[in-house]
Amino acid sequence: MAIPEEKIRKLLDYIKELDIKEFPWAMEDTSFAAASLIVKYSDPSLMTLLPEWAKRDIYGMRDTYLEQGSFGYISNLGSVDHSEMMHKLAQLLPQDK
Total domains in the fold of the chain: 1
Distance CA 47, CA 91 (A): 14
Distance CA 55, CA 49 (A): 9
pLDDT digits (tens, 9 = 90+) for 5-41: 999 999 999 999 887 778 888 888 999 999 999 999 9
pTM given for the model: 0.88
Rg (CA), the chain: 13
Q: Is residue 80 part of a domain?
A: yes
- Domain hosting 81: range is 5-92
Q: Is residue 70 part of a domain?
A: yes
pLDDT digits (tens, 9 = 90+) for 32-44: 999 999 999 999 9
Q: Is residue 97 part of a domain?
A: no
Distance CA 62, CA 12 (A): 21
Q: Are 83 and 71 spatial neighbours (Cβ–Cβ below 8 Å)?
A: yes
